Amino acid sequence: MLGSVHDADDALQETLVRAWRGFAGLRKDASARSWLYAIATNVCLTELARRRTRFLPHDFGPPAEAAVAPGMPAAESVWLEPYPDQALGIPDGRATPEATYERREALELAFIAALQHLGGNQRAVLLLREVLGFSAQETAALLSTSVASVNSALQRARATVAARVPERSQQRTLRALGDRALSELVDRYVSAWERCDVEAFAEMLAEDASFAMPPLTTWYTRRDAVIAWARDYSLNGAWQWRTVRTQANGQPALAFYTWDDAAAAYLPFALNVLTVRDGLVADVTAFIVRSSDDPRPDAYIRFPDQPMQRDRLAGAFGRFGVPDRLT
């Protein structure tokens, strides 16, 4: 609902407080599950009404030209946050037999990003019906509205999301690719970056690949533009990289570390979430954990020199259980 693990934690705490205070009002014949989801949904709707919509850079503005350097960041609160699905024990399989989306499909970056284009009510209806498997009648009761209103909101929400997500989910793509082929692809990706090998990186990119780096608004699309950016900046040989594998949003992810002379160690830089298609890397979203307080545009040409942003570090590294440094 909120596109942020941090915001979701706050909403969960508020939900539990409200449930504790209102427990005496739970009827003996009522479903505790429905009652709790009603509270949680209302908490989220309240939060959505007072907070900014969260996006990925793809939805924030047009792509940059290949020759354009990474630019200034946008306000911290506008970005989606990566979700540590393995760390929180999200199971495979459907939430209920009636659900349309599998649990992991409902965590994918493309799906979460598409949800942000829905109003709060449509977002709630889609998740309650298609992810959690509540019936139209149950959803109407949860939201204190009519079945007709629920069905109408669901129809509009489905159309908006379908226009923004790939026809084939990452879960279906990864299953078709297979664990071995995926592991080999990630191995090649890691090797290319740790060797700063632009040509090897280029070989594994889809023609319409994109690379985004929140909190920077700058993002690149089409293979040639991504390669040009990599050659001029991140893979120009000035930065030394190491990685640790993890899993985010039901997708392969890599915690990236860059060498720091003062610390004599590799320190966290970004969590890269990979989207795969046809055995190639189609999209990369690199959630950078370095500070974006420096107002000078050229500060982001040497982004690894910037200090760590503690909130982003906790969200993109601490929650994933990866090391805080590599030696």
**Overall average pLDDT of the 252-261 stretch:** 97
| CATH annotation of 178-320 | 3.10.450.50
Task: Give the pLDDT confidence score for residue 102 in this predicted structure.
Answer: 80
Domain range annotation of the chain: 5-59+92-162, 178-320
Percent of the chain whose pLDDT exceeds 70:
94
**Between residues 100 and 261, which one has the greater pLDDT?**
261
Residue 87 has pLDDT above 70, yes or no: no
**Overall average pLDDT of the 219-225 stretch:** 96
Listed in order, strand segments (DSSP E) in 151-308 are 205-212, 219-221, 241-248, 251-260, 265-277, 280-288
Quick one: pLDDT band at residue 78, thresholds 50, 70, 90?
A: confident
Q: How far is CA 149 from CA 48, 56, 119, 135, in A?
A: 20, 30, 14, 13
Percent of the chain whose pLDDT exceeds 90:
71
241 alpha-carbon distance from chain centroid: 22
Q: Identify the top-confidence range among 45-54, 149-158, 288-297.
A: 149-158
Residue 219 has pLDDT above 90, yes or no: yes
Quick one: pLDDT band at residue 113, thresholds 50, 70, 90?
A: very high
Enter the tokens of residue 318.
């601490």
Task: Give the pLDDT confidence score for residue 67 in this predicted structure.
Answer: 79
Quick one: pLDDT band at residue 85, thresholds 50, 70, 90?
A: confident
**Between residues 6 and 197, which one has the greater pLDDT?**
197
AA letter at 110: A
2-16, 97-111, 224-238, 278-292: least confidently modelled range = 97-111
Residue 47 has pLDDT above 90, yes or no: yes
Residue 98 has pLDDT above 80, yes or no: no
**Tens digit of each residue's pLDDT (9 = 90 or more) over 154-168:** 999 999 999 999 999
Which CATH topology does 5-59+92-162 take? Butyryl-CoA Dehydrogenase, subunit A; domain 3 (1.20.140)
Quick one: pLDDT band at residue 311, thresholds 50, 70, 90?
A: confident
Q: How far is CA 145 from CA 50, 129, 132, 193, in A?
A: 22, 14, 18, 52
Residue 23 has pLDDT above 80, yes or no: yes
Average model confidence (pLDDT) for the chain? 91
Residues 6+ apart with CB under 8 A from 327: 264, 265, 266
Is 97 exposed, middle or buried (CB count within 10 Å of its CB: 0-12, 13-18, 19+)?
exposed
Give the pTM. 0.91
Task: Give the pLDDT confidence score for residue 89 in this predicted structure.
Answer: 63
3-state SS, residue 180: helix
